[in-house]
Amino acid sequence: MADNKVPDISLNDGNPIPQLGFGVFQIEPKDTARAVGTALAIGYRHIDTAQMYGNEAEVGQAVRASGLDRGDIFVTSKLNNGFHRPDDARKAFEQSLRELKFDYLDLFLIHWPLPTLYDGDYVSTWKVLEEFQRDGRVKSIGVSNFQVAHLERLAAEADVVPAVNQIEAHPYFGNEEVRSYDRSHNILTEAWSPIAQGKVLDDPTVVDLAEQVGRTPAQVVLRWHVQRGDIVFPKSTTPKRIEENFGIFDFTLDDTAMERLTALDKGENGRQGPDPDTFDYVPS
Ligand SMILES: NC(=O)C1=CN([C@@H]2O[C@H](COP(=O)(O)OP(=O)(O)OC[C@H]3O[C@@H](n4cnc5c(N)ncnc54)[C@H](OP(=O)(O)O)[C@@H]3O)[C@@H](O)[C@H]2O)C=CC1
Ligand SMILES: O=C(O)C(=O)[C@@H](O)[C@H](O)C(=O)CO
């Protein structure tokens, strides 16, 4: 059997990103260092956190406790929704570095475009991320939950093309229009909720394919994502599942299997999370 080795993908700025990472949304701060420590011990080298998750400090703690070099672990965080105004974004970014106790981040994202807030202005926010990249405190910058219209505005008004766009994607919501824009503009798609928070795992097609290839439903779905070329970072606090989700680079799905999973797409009805065109949540 082939070795299970996580490949790096080159971002449009030349920096490498491991194609599989570990997501920490909805992991309580008290459980985060243990979960991230388990992931790092298994071999994950990419962690996806956010200011909104309230667990950056514990992610930083787990990185230091791992004994690994900081430079060997790719860490992403995201600007929280209350901080789109340039001065607020500067302060919030500095707070992330303080929480993590890092002197740089590998990737920093605008978490949501919030087109109905801040007079629809995410461009001035983006220009502040360009500033962080220029001064070396973040290696790569990107966006999350940006729809095609939002990306088109950045293309027209900003200097740097986002390295990634982190969007909801899984077999029930392929998000192909945004993925297709990303692909044709050299923006790497990161698929959030890659197993739809577990909701796709008992789908009869997924179960059937898992039996055919002798893998688990989660492994089959995660493998579908990586064969589409996207980045994934499934979340789990269960050590056995953290290990299971890591084992996706030593088998392949054939074209028929890929097509059967793609055909599960329910369009907008398959979306599990908020619609980025209307989402306006700002933490109090
Ligand atoms: N940019 C954005 O707006 C968003 C980004 N994200 C990012 O994407 C990451 C992943 O998405 P997330 O929403 O957490 O959902 P996922 O699709 O990763 O699913 C996580 C859920 O699935 C369960 N699970 C994990 N692995 C398995 C398995 N092998 N078998 C069965 N069940 C399993 C987990 O349970 P348990 O923990 O109990 O094992 C948890 O309930 C987040 O952690 C975050 O980093 C997510 C949402 C929005
Ligand atoms: O997990 C994230 O990154 C999110 O943005 C979500 O928490 C999102 O805000 C949501 O699901 C709100 O219901």
Tens-digit pLDDT string for the chain (284 aa): 468 899 999 999 999 999 999 999 999 999 999 999 999 999 999 999 999 999 999 999 999 999 999 999 999 999 999 999 999 999 999 999 999 999 999 999 999 999 999 999 999 999 999 999 999 999 999 999 999 999 999 999 999 999 999 999 999 999 999 999 999 999 999 999 999 999 999 999 999 999 999 999 999 999 999 999 999 999 999 999 999 999 999 999 999 999 999 999 999 999 999 999 999 999 98
Catalytic pick among 53, 122, 172, 181: 53
Structural domain contains residue 218:
no
Residue 206 domain flag: no
Query: In degrees to the nearest 10, what's the CA dihedral of 150, 155, 159, 163?
Result: 70
- Residue 77 and residue 37 in contact, taking contact as beta carbons nearer than 8 Å: no
**ipTM for the complex?**
0.98
Place of tokens 């909801």: 168
CA of 274 to the centre of ligand 2 (A): 8
Tokens coding 18: 């491991």
Among the listed residues 55, 151, 156, the one whose alpha carbon sits nearest the alpha carbon of residue 100: 55
Residue 263 in domain? no
Tell me the CATH number at 50: 3.20.20.100
Ligand 1 neighbours, Cβ below 6 Å, are 23-26, 48, 111, 144-145, 166, 192-198, 201, 218, 233-238, 241, 244-245, 273
In a domain, 215, yes or no: no
Q: Is 53 one of the annotated active-site residues of the chain?
A: yes
pTM beyond cutoff 0.95? yes
Domain-embedded: residue 271: no
Q: How far is the CA of 211 from the centre of ligand 2 (A)?
A: 32
Length of the chain: 284
Which ligand has the shortest distance to the CA of 233? 1
Residue 210 falls inside a structural domain: no
Query: Whose Cα sits closest to atom 25 in ligand 1?
Result: 236
Return the residue whose CA atom lies nearest to atom 39 of ligand 1: 236
Query: Residues annotated in the binding site, as ranges?
Result: 111
Domain ranges, residue 162 = 8-198+227-237
pLDDT for residue 1: 45
DSSP 161-181: PPSEEEEE-BTTB--HHHHHH
Indicate which residue's Cα is closest to atom 8 of ligand 1.
192
Q: How many domains does the chain have?
A: 1
In this structure, the residue with its CA closest to atom 3 of ligand 2 is 25
Residue 171 domain-assigned (yes or no): yes
pLDDT at position 235 is 99
pLDDT at 284: 86
pLDDT of residue 210: 98
- pLDDT at residue 112, as a whole number: 98
What residues flank ligand 2, with Cβ below 6 Å? 25, 50, 52, 111, 273-274, 281
Tell whether 207 is covered by a domain. no
CA of residue 208 to ligand 2 center, whole Å = 31
Ligand 1 center from residue 153 Cα (angstroms): 30
